[in-house]
């Protein structure tokens, strides 16, 4: 007990860092975001006719993107929901460079009733690491 009293700040730091680590692993599933790996995304694209939604800015998109990807920057997604209406019944694979913006885009899509929005875990970096092609 004396150890805990003497080291309360160290214990609080350890507990809070553990909670942050746990959130990084489980945060998206707690928020209702469906994550898919690059291989699973490729399956959705090839066999379920999934739309690839790239939420990066236009300059980033031009440096390389997934073939047939639709580019709508995250900042304009809310006002561009109408453009996605025809894809409502299809799965949507949402991606950005790493997967931070795409997770936020998935939350926004779910709020608008797109239940089949999937966040590409690791984003475009994971796609490239898996050796999958990009169009430039």
- State whether 113 and 86 are in the same domain: yes
pLDDT at 136 (0 to 100): 85
Tell the burial category of 96 from Cβ atoms under 10 Å away from its Cβ (0-12, 13-18, 19+). Answer: buried
- Cβ atoms 29, 35 nearer than 8 A: yes
Tell whether 136 is covered by a domain.
Answer: no
- State whether 61 and 115 are in the same domain: yes
pLDDT at 80 (0 to 100): 95
- State whether 101 and 48 are in the same domain: yes
pLDDT in tens, the chain (136 residues): 787 778 888 878 877 887 666 555 554 555 568 899 999 999 999 999 999 999 999 999 999 999 999 999 999 999 999 999 999 999 999 999 987 899 999 999 999 999 999 999 999 999 999 999 999 8
pLDDT at 22 (0 to 100): 57
- State whether 42 and 105 are in the same domain: yes
- State whether 15 and 64 are in the same domain: no
- State whether 48 and 89 are in the same domain: yes
- State whether 113 and 100 are in the same domain: yes
Tell whether 134 is covered by a domain.
Answer: no
Tell whether 45 is covered by a domain.
Answer: yes
pLDDT at 86 (0 to 100): 94
> For 72-111, what is the HEC assignment?
CCHHHHHHHHHHHHHHCCCCEEEECCCCHHHHHHHHHHHH
pLDDT at 32 (0 to 100): 63
- Cβ atoms 57, 73 nearer than 8 A: yes
Q: How many domains does the chain have?
A: 2
Across the beta sheet with 117-120, the strand order is 34-36, 117-120, 92-95, 51-54, 70-71
pLDDT at 46 (0 to 100): 96
- State whether 71 and 116 are in the same domain: yes
Domain encompassing residue 17: 1-30
- Cβ atoms 74, 104 nearer than 8 A: yes
Tell whether 135 is covered by a domain.
Answer: no
pLDDT at 31 (0 to 100): 58
SS3 label, residue 120: strand
């Amino acid at each position: 007990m004396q150890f805990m009293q003497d080291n309360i700040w160290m214990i609080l730091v350890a507990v809070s860092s553990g909670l942050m680590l746990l959130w990084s692993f489980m945060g998206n599933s707690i928020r209702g975001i469906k994550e898919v790996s690059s291989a699973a995304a490729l399956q959705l694209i090839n066999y379920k006719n999934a739309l690839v939604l790239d939420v990066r800015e236009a300059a980033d998109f031009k440096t390389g993107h997934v073939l047939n990807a639709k580019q709508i920057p995250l900042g304009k997604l809310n006002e561009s929901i109408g453009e996605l209406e025809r894809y409502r019944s299809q799965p949507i694979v949402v991606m950005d460079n790493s997967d931070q913006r795409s997770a936020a885009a998935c939350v926004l899509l779910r709020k608008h009733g797109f239940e089949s929005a999937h966040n590409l875990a690791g984003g475009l970096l994971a796609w490239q690491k898996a050796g999958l092609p990009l169009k430039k």
